[in-house]
Amino acid sequence: MSNTILITGNRKGIGRYLTEYYLKKGFNLVGCSRSKSDLIHNNYLHVIGDVTSEQDVKRVVKESRNKFGSVDVLINNAGKASMNHSILTPVSSVKDLFETNYLGTFLFSRECSKLMMKQKFGRIINFSTVAVPLNLEGEMVYASSKSAIETMTKILSKEISNYNITVNVIGPTPIMTDLIKVVPKDKIEEILNKQTLKRFGTFEDVSNVIDFFISDNSSFVTGQKIYLGGL
Amino acid sequence: MKNLDSDLITLLKAFIKENEIQVDNKIDSNSRLFGSNSVFDSMELVQFIVEVEQFLDEEYDIEIELTSDKAMSRRSSPFISLNTLSKFIIEETNE
């Protein structure tokens, strides 16, 4: 049933890896980022768009439908991280993180759900973080925005369950990407030490969980979160 | 948009048929879309609104947000009947 996958924030990092990974598996892929992608493939469409713009999100989904007929799987990968003591956190930073992480996930989920409801099939994968269960100092805003995504996942999964659409969330550990460049080394070490399995996550760890969530055999799995690293 | 009323009736009939919804009364522009005498339940209404948005986009090239703040905050809901929905769509597209 899953033919077309839409991945947000896929110009680099995990999003880029997942794009190439699922193209190799034979899926049609739609990617979305704020700037151009150098990825060229017959089954790939890149749409420039900002996940925080309702108009852009509608356009990305419409272009996906025009090119491939539908969106079967949505991977809400686009995200931003920021570390700061709560007392020193500027309002602009709070707005920025919530708009990209939460609003972006909401807008894409809403627009793709509309297509999925009609075809009575869909898989939505959201991204959280191990910073949520760890309640890490210095990550209040980032973890809060991801915690909101976990709640969104739970409630949305109920609201659209009648349409054979599942909504699940993965919570990766730190992975060597641009996202954690802003996090001090000692802080990363602290996180790794709190994991049951004390190592960085890999892109393959992430795709393994997503493979499970999007499988046709996972139609009975919804509203679930899986943290990597044993949390 | 001159056929909007009849288009909406056709769309609603097709929607009812496709989703095997039991309807006792005749479908016309006064058919209730929500409330105690409505033709479908709340989730079916959500799905129908999505269908109308897609229909307007595909057939009339009109991108409209039927669940906008404006629609939701009106004293009189545009989703009472096909008639009120049609009026709301025309109002929105004429702005």
CA distance A57 to B41: 28
Q: Provide, for chain B, the percentages of residues in helix, strand and coil under a 3-state DSSP scheme, each rounded to the nearest 5.
A: 55, 0, 45
Cross-chain residue pair B54–A62, CB shorter than 8 Å: no
CB A108 within 8 A of CB A6: yes
Span between the terminal Cα atoms of chain B, in Å:
14
Please report the pLDDT score of residue A186 as a whole number: 86
Q: What's the gap in Å between the CA of A105 and the closest CA on chain B?
A: 18
Structural domain of B49: 4-94
- Nearest chain A residue to B53 by CA distance is A114
Tell me, rounded to whole angstroms, the distance of Cα B82 from its chain centroid.
5
Cross-chain residue pair A114–B57, CB shorter than 8 Å: no
CA distance B5 to A228: 53
CA proximity to A35, closest of A20, A55, A16, A17: A16
Cross-chain residue pair B43–A162, CB shorter than 8 Å: yes
- Between A67-71, B47-51, B76-80, the lowest mean confidence (pLDDT) is in B76-80
Q: Is the pLDDT of residue B76 over 90?
A: no
Residue A42 tokens read as 């017959």
CA distance A46 to A32: 6
Domain ranges in chain A are: 4-227
Q: Which residues of B touch A (CB under 8 A)?
A: 43, 47, 50-51, 53-54, 57, 63
* Nearest CB partner across the interface for A114, out of B43, B50, B63: B50
Three-state secondary structure call for residue B72: helix
The average pLDDT across B76-81 equals 87
Cross-chain residue pair B47–A117, CB shorter than 8 Å: yes
| Pair type for strands A165-171 and A122-127 | parallel
Region for residue A70 given its phi and psi (left: phi exceeds 0; alpha: psi -120 to 50; beta: otherwise): beta
Please report the pLDDT score of residue B2 as a whole number: 73
Angstrom distances, CA of residue A138 to CA of A82, A184, A188, A191, B61: 9, 11, 12, 12, 48
Kindly report the pTM of this predicted structure: 0.91
Q: Which residues of chain A have a CB within 8 Å of the CB of B56?
A: none
Tens of pLDDT, residue by residue over A104-133, are 999 999 999 999 998 999 999 999 999 999
Listed in order, strand segments (DSSP E) in chain A are: 4-8, 28-33, 44-48, 73-76, 122-127, 165-171, 225-227
ipTM of the complex: 0.80
- Nearest chain B residue to A115 by CA distance is B50
Query: Partners of A126 in the beta sheet?
Result: A76, A169
Average confidence score pLDDT of chain B: 87
CA distance A102 to A93: 13
With an 8 Å Cβ cutoff, is A58 touching chain B?
Answer: yes
Sign of CA dihedral A210, A214, A218, A221: positive
- Nearest chain B residue to A66 by CA distance is B58
Q: What's B55's domain CATH number?
A: 1.10.1200
Please report the pLDDT score of residue B95 as a whole number: 62
Calculate what percentage of chain B has a pLDDT beyond 70. 99
Cross-chain residue pair A58–B47, CB shorter than 8 Å: no
- Nearest chain B residue to A61 by CA distance is B54
CATH classification of A4-227 is 3.40.50.720, yes or no? yes
Tens-level pLDDT at each residue, chain A (231 residues): 569 999 999 999 999 999 999 999 999 999 999 999 999 999 999 999 999 999 999 999 999 999 999 999 999 999 998 889 999 999 999 999 999 999 999 999 999 999 999 899 999 999 999 999 999 889 999 999 999 999 999 999 999 999 999 999 999 999 987 777 777 888 888 889 999 999 999 999 999 999 999 999 999 999 999 999 998
Cross-chain residue pair B50–A62, CB shorter than 8 Å: no
With an 8 Å Cβ cutoff, is A118 touching chain B?
Answer: yes
Please report the pLDDT score of residue B64 as a whole number: 84
Instruction: Mention every residue, 6+ apart, whose C-beta is less than 8 A from residue B22.
Output: none
Task: Report the interhelical angle of A13-24 vs A203-214 (nearest 10°).
Answer: 50
Please report the pLDDT score of residue A2 as a whole number: 66
Number of domains in chain B: 1
CA distance A74 to A55: 18
Cross-chain residue pair A117–B50, CB shorter than 8 Å: yes
Residue B74 tokens read as 């009106």
Residue A180 tokens read as 């954690």
